[in-house]
């Protein structure tokens, strides 16, 4: 899923712990990528856990769905 990593990095979302949890300090979300399940989950970022325990907001099954969400909700 390198294409998801590339997309998220292009939007300034970083996986600082290298555990497939992406954060952007300018947004109150975390994005978790599960290669095993083929899902991308947008969660509320509950502070220091980078969204691990945050409320699930959306689940995407493709990069296209994630890109559309970004365009419609974040304007990027």
pLDDT tens digits, 20-71: 999 998 888 899 999 888 899 999 876 666 677 777 888 999 999 999 999 9
As a whole number of angstroms, the distance between CA 56 and CA 51 comes to 9
As a whole number of angstroms, the distance between CA 63 and CA 60 comes to 8
Q: Answer whether residue 13 is part of any domain.
A: yes
Burial degree of 31 (CB within 10 A; 0-12, 13-18, 19+): buried
Q: Which domain holds residue 10?
A: 2-67
Q: Answer whether residue 74 is part of any domain.
A: no
Q: Answer whether residue 59 is part of any domain.
A: yes
Q: Answer whether residue 73 is part of any domain.
A: no
Q: How many domains does the chain have?
A: 1
Q: Answer whether residue 76 is part of any domain.
A: no
pTM of the entire predicted model: 0.82
Q: Which two tokens stand for residue 67?
A: 């890109």
| Tens digit of each residue's pLDDT (9 = 90 or more) over 15-30 | 988 989 999 988 888 9
Q: What is the pLDDT of residue 74?
A: 83
Q: Answer whether residue 72 is part of any domain.
A: no
Q: Answer whether residue 20 is part of any domain.
A: yes
Q: Answer whether residue 32 is part of any domain.
A: yes
């Amino acid at each position: 899923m390198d294409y998801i990593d590339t997309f998220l990095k292009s939007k300034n979302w970083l996986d600082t712990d290298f555990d497939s949890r992406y954060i952007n300090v300018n947004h109150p979300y975390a994005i978790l990528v599960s290669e095993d399940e083929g899902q991308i989950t947008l969660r509320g970022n509950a502070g220091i856990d980078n969204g691990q325990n945050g409320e699930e907001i959306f689940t995407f099954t493709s990069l296209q769905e994630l890109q559309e969400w970004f365009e419609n909700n974040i304007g990027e």
